[in-house]
Chains A and B, each alone.
With several copies, the nearest count.
Chain A
Amino acid sequence: MNFRDLAKKSAWIGAALPLFWAADALAGDAAPTLSAGDTAWMLTSSALVLLMTLPGLALFYGGLVRTKNILSVLMQCLISAGVMGLIWIAVGYSLAFSGDGAFIGNLDKMFLNGIGPDTLSGTIPEFVFVIFQGMFAIITPALMLGAFAERMRFGPYVAFISIWLIVVYIPLAHMVWGGGFIAELGAIDFAGGLVVHMSSGFSALVAALYLGARRGYGRSPMPPHSLPLTVIGAALLWVGWFGFNAGSALAADGTAGLAFLTTQTATSAAVVMWALIEKIHRGKPTVLGGATAAVAGLVAITPACASVDVLGSVYVGIGAAVICYFFVTIVKNKLGYDDSLDVFGVHGIGGTWGALAAVLFIAEVPDGMTWGSQIFAQIKSIGITAVYAPLASIIILVVLRMVLGDLRVSDEAEYEGLDLAEHSESAYSTESSGMSASHSGGAA
């Protein structure tokens, strides 16, 4: 692992507290010892990041689709926690965090080979670092499903996110956090603006375009079937995001405190700003706007949460509201693509803004960099992500199309809803559902 450069660049002040042990370790000084405090926070953070996917993201997206498709969204989140969880320990962690390659790591730690309960990673057990990072690998692919919700077949979805994890996510995680090529550039991406949000947002866009719009899109309204579910989801994303961002300090220290605080203030600012824009533009602030703003603010502060100060974080949040609002309400409608739940507009665009803003409003430029060179590093890494992720995604999709056939459900299935067509279930049932126990199935 090469956290050194990362550490130097991500901390607000020159002498990076959170990861200084890494530097020490590399320098051959006293080996770091287990910190129960840091471990406690990282265990908590790991649980919080899972909370973001289950039930956070599942509800946020699930509330936004029509009644007939909510279960398909929930299942796509559940299976991500299943399949990504397994791939991560099999090869993912090793490829991302073991070895010095510029683009990808090695397989030395396949199935966590060589790691035991007393192996440390800095001041925490390496197991804890593995699982914390594993939770990122679970949520990132699931973020994409919002773009092609209500129309993708379940099997191809599973295949897509599995390959995508290995081909897109893991290399990016290695390049940025595992000591690879983008880390060498000196780009700042504290908790994953590039690795998590841009990568998923840009990939989601090409997937939405490749799959095509939902039947009736643009003619029939497709309003959210349950905004309360969406708000619960957004709220749990917000709460869980503290684990995501402040957990990325890998310690319970001042950097974690800073990241926690800026996460909150950026999100507050985004919520307020979005409501103001809606008030001015539409006459009324909406709840869906508030929930969307919260997520946009959280996305944007993700890469920036440890490099800006509190005032900077407010600007990050305001910028996120303005830019994402513009994308999801104006640009999308102008261009006419069907990114069902605005994954590109919120994560792709918000992540890009955040990656820039991390340096635009930087509190202290890292040693050896100037503000200009740092901005340049950001732009380069943004460009790489914005090209690599969608390019790789479209290739995966085209290949899958050839191997698995149509990635999209049939028109009938789309009309009937994915819950019945793909999972033989209905979300809600009442006494007039008119079911009868079938002969084959027996009682239950």
Chain B
Amino acid sequence: MKLIEAIIKPFKLDEVKEALSQLEVQGITVTEVKGFGRQKGHTELYRGAEYVVDFLPKLKLEIVVADDMVERVIETIQNAAKTGRIGDGKIFVLNVSDAIRIRTGEKGDSAL
């Protein structure tokens, strides 16, 4: 099992979710985050004081899938989230040693 953590541009959420649904991904957990990266931020003005804002709003998607799904999920996210412009985000893959469904106590792949 892997945890796929994808950081994407917020307005891409719908498309990514749509694409993943077709893969029969059963669950996604989404967090509002702020991202700092190569994409340059902007300047804000408050009564003549100028602030540089380096952190931009992003969404972080966490998806735990069985190992055999990993490649397809990554590819799908990449296609759906891509605009080709800087700041499109990253996908990180982490190993998950166990998963449990709280409702039933099921473990492993069947908990997803």
Return chain B residues, CB-CB under 8 Å to A224.
Answer: 46
Beta-carbon contact of A432 and B49 below 8 Å: no
Beta-carbon contact of A431 and B11 below 8 Å: yes
Contact A438 to B14, CB < 8 A, known contacts A432-B32, A433-B34: no
Q: Is the CB of B43 closer than 8 A to any CB of chain A?
A: yes
Beta-carbon contact of A432 and B48 below 8 Å: no
Measured CA separation A286–B43 after assembly (Å): 12
Beta-carbon contact of B47 and A434 below 8 Å: no
Measured CA separation A440–B32 after assembly (Å): 29
Instruction: Find residues 5-60 in chain B having any chain A CB closer than 8 Å to their own CB.
Output: 10-11, 13-14, 17-18, 30-32, 34, 36, 41-55, 57, 59
Q: Could you say which of A168-176, A187-195, A326-334, A373-381 contacts chain B? A: A326-334
Measured CA separation A416–B32 after assembly (Å): 16
Beta-carbon contact of B42 and A220 below 8 Å: no
Shortest CB distance A278–B (Å): 8
Measured CA separation A228–B97 after assembly (Å): 45
Interface size of A as a range: 35 or more
Measured CA separation A424–B43 after assembly (Å): 6
Q: Is the CB of A284 closer than 8 A to any CB of chain B?
A: yes
Q: A431 touches which one: B10, B41, B47 (CB < 8 A)?
A: B10
Beta-carbon contact of A432 and B59 below 8 Å: yes
Beta-carbon contact of A434 and B55 below 8 Å: yes
Q: B53 touches which one: A329, A333, A435 (CB < 8 A)?
A: A435
Shortest CB distance B7–A (Å): 13
Return chain A residues, CB-CB under 8 Å to B31.
Answer: 432
Measured CA separation A289–B45 after assembly (Å): 9
Q: B44 touches which one: A278, A425, A430, A443 (CB < 8 A)?
A: A425
Instruction: Find residues 88-103 in chain B having any chain A CB closer than 8 Å to their own CB.
Output: none
Return chain A residues, CB-CB under 8 Å to B59.
Answer: 431-432
The chain A residue with its CB closest to the CB of B50 is: A441
Contact A438 to B50, CB < 8 A, known contacts A286-B45, A431-B13: yes
**Which residue among B42, B51, B52, B55 has the maximum number of chain A CB atoms within 10 Å of its CB?**
B51
- CB<8 Å pairs between A and B, sample of 29: A220-B11, A221-B51, A282-B45, A284-B45, A288-B46, A289-B45, A292-B47, A325-B48, A333-B49, A415-B11, A416-B42, A424-B43, A425-B45, A426-B53, A430-B32, A431-B11, A434-B30, A434-B34, A434-B36, A434-B41, A435-B44, A436-B18, A436-B54, A440-B50, A441-B45, A441-B48, A442-B49, A444-B47, A444-B48
Beyond A431-B10, A432-B13, 11 additional contacts (C-beta under 8 Å) are A216-B11, A284-B45, A289-B45, A329-B47, A431-B59, A432-B10, A432-B32, A434-B53, A441-B48, A444-B46, A444-B48
